[in-house]
Structure 1
């Protein structure tokens, strides 16, 4: 079907609009914007290019998508935003393009929920099936894995990574890497508070898998072992069991660029 565009929307001749797209009143779609099939753009949204958006995404009113990075080092170089399929962006979400010094691309995967007032800064990478609650904020260069939940008002410092299946509690401020499966709760500074066991159960993890993840967590955060000693304990356990979850955790630890949040 042809796209359904409100007559009060402003669409650049350089934009590419897919089939069965709906664009509401007072939207502005800029040059080098590609919008995939069946996307819904609510009223008063602004989408700036270069931005590529896959199919079946929904943007509620007043979203600002693909705007210039909020970085003083940005000098107008050509940088991009790439969004996958099936994401939902609620009211007043803001997502910035990348920077030349940061790789040039902000990238968002598939089937994520971004609730009202969420901000995703330049050069961030977001995986699949994540939930960002109201006012959750990513600074620049943050990497978010798959099935991650950020509760309301959570904030993540630049260059931090959050591993798969992690859960960040309401109002928590993350200033270090968060391994896969871990819950982080607010204190004066946020600290790990166990594994995201309930979330893992909902995703089909059985009791044996969860028990192994708990053993790895205790080695990292409860035993008092140094980080290198805890890593060796987990590596030994992974070798003995062949468990892929422990391999995911080890890969995360071995690729760290910031201190682990401990």
Structure 2
């Protein structure tokens, strides 16, 4: 009863609207939607499907959240979408629910910012504090870890993983996995260094940044395969940040890796 709902909004029977929510004109909230406390839904927003939205989320006009996947294999099976607390979803963003073949869940974490015109496809898993800039597209089954920034007009290929703290430059196509703290730019996505600006902004110690720089050089120029170099790094380093890269590279993946000097 404490929610402020515009008379023109359509709230279907069964929807749960948390205390303190504001829902603007001409919104459509489906019957399986659950809004946490204090959400702000601006005008002309559509929220559908089995969608759970955390407290304090803001969704701007003409976003469509929880619509069915853009996947021809989807046949109407019940799948879900989860959006974490305090995330901001700007105008014309589209986020789809999952598919049965992909695990049935699309998730966007807490404190994210999805700028105007972004798309998050089925079964994508987006971490916390992720920024996706205008008109970028995340394909199905991608994993985007915490603190990643994806530049405007960029595209991420299906099944790609982008590691924690990485940055993707604008107008970049990412077709392979990106190591944590990596810097990717150029039209076909070159691994061009480390996200040093992001590391410094997060207050990472100078010793860890130095260790990351040395690790990047070893990954770029060492003997053996990319995975072999990463395993040797794990045996030699005492930096938790470098170990994060090692764990990522040696983990399971459906794609190959962007490696230094190669798109």
Partner of 1:226 in structure 2? Answer: 225
TM-score scaled to structure 1, two decimals? 0.96
Alignment of 1:15-94 (within 5 A): 15-94=15-94
Say whether the 8 Å CA contact 1:9–1:28 is kept in structure 2: yes
Q: After superposition, where does 1:60-139 map in structure 2 within 5 Å?
A: 60-139=60-139
- 2 CA distance for matches of 1:220 and 1:173? 22
What aligned pairs does 1:240-259 form with structure 2 within 5 A after superposition? 241=238, 243-257=239-253, 258-259=255-256
Number of aligned pairs? 258
- Which ranges of 4 or more aligned residues in structure 1 deviate by more than 2 Å? 221-226
Offset of 1:245 from its aligned partner? Answer: 1.1
Gaps of 5+ in 1: none
Query: Displacement, 1:222?
Result: 4.1
Computed over aligned residues only, the root mean square deviation of the Cα atoms, in angstroms, reads 1.2
Q: TM-score, normalised by structure 2?
A: 0.95
- Structure 1 position 224, deviation (Å): 6.5
Partners of 1:53 and 1:83 within 8 A in 2: yes
Query: Which one is further off, 220-229 or 11-20?
Result: 220-229
Does the Cα contact within 8 Å between 2:115 and 2:134 map onto a contact in 1? yes
Q: Partners in 2 of 1:23 and 1:108 — Cα distance?
A: 21
| Cα distance in 2 for residues equivalent to 1:113 and 1:50 | 22
Q: Distance in 1 between matches of 2:220 and 2:63?
A: 39
2:258 corresponds to? 261
Stretches of structure 2 lacking an aligned partner (at least 5 in a row):
none
Question: Contact 1:219–1:233 at 8 Å: present in 2 too?
Answer: no
Alignment of 1:181-260 (within 5 A): 181-187=181-187, 189-223=188-222, 225-238=224-237, 241=238, 243-257=239-253, 258-260=255-257
Contact 1:91 1:116 in 2 (8 A): yes
